[in-house]
Chain A
């Protein structure tokens, strides 16, 4: 899928669609990188850094593609480091702070249980670039899901304190899971063109995964209540601005810096 023959620019919807995927991957990758040197064990420190790098790798490929789709000279660094929170289009779930280890694992479980099947479906996108990136990301996310599930089960079915912390994490993050499955006009256009997939169609698979993991972890599934939303339109929780401030400080102080 390349330039739309009816206009002299590429479809802006396609740029936005890819940018949302990129932002979500980068924000989650950066969050996980905050654990480097701080994880509970050396083994987990490396595991979390691996997962962070997987997401940042996905983000880089998606930003490079988005920059090409936009075609006005911005590169992947410009997209990552020179946009503020209102211009970021990631889902709110991934920007939430790491909290304790249970919060990080609940966030990863909720996201990966969505991302693995979502990327699997996107691997059939008619945008060959998106399809290629998604095919690779699907395998990575399937591993992240396994990693997070194992921890949620161990902590849920662990000590009284670990069970309580894990349940709190699941309860606190639950209201950010609804946005994963929302589709707006941009999604609609991309679904129609065969570039994108309907995130809502991932819901049954996500529910099945979450039900299985929570049951095995002896944790209660939260009742479906009010869901927060807006990340994909640039409306964010208070956590994102602080994160971007730190993530972008070097690039903003030394524009174009390399090492």
Chain B
């Protein structure tokens, strides 16, 4: 099984009671249709699933973990606490938000 002939796909499922597709894992397949079938066979065995997405892994553009300090760290709650709506007094009447 070579990566060229059996490329990697990422699998996303939307559960019957869920709102968005969620990443559940990956698999190998020779083409898109087989990827969808394999996803059905591998990842829907026990679940109430409403919809399947498969995406070629190479189509995903990912952030570089080495960039984390520059890219993501500055927005952390610790550094920019004012970006989080935690400074408001919420009247009791509003209840749970």
Contact = CB atoms under 8 A, between A and B. Distances in A.
Chain A partners chain B: yes
Nearest to B45: A50
A97 to B, nearest CB: 24
Contacts of A146: 37
Interface residues of A, number: 11
Interface stretch (B25-33, B57-65, B67-75, B82-90): B25-33
Interface stretch (A5-13, A20-28, A40-48, A202-210): A40-48
A68 interface: no
Interface SS majority for chain A? helix
Contacts of B1: 41
Interface residues of B, number: 14
Given A41-B6, A41-B28, A154-B30, A47 B38 contact: yes
Contacts of A50: 41, 45
A215 B39 CA distance: 27
Given A41-B28, A43-B28, A150 B33 contact: yes
27 contacts: A41-B1, A41-B6, A41-B28, A42-B28, A43-B27, A43-B28, A43-B29, A43-B38, A43-B41, A43-B42, A46-B41, A46-B42, A46-B45, A47-B37, A47-B38, A47-B41, A47-B42, A50-B41, A50-B45, A143-B40, A146-B37, A147-B37, A150-B33, A150-B34, A150-B37, A154-B30, A154-B34
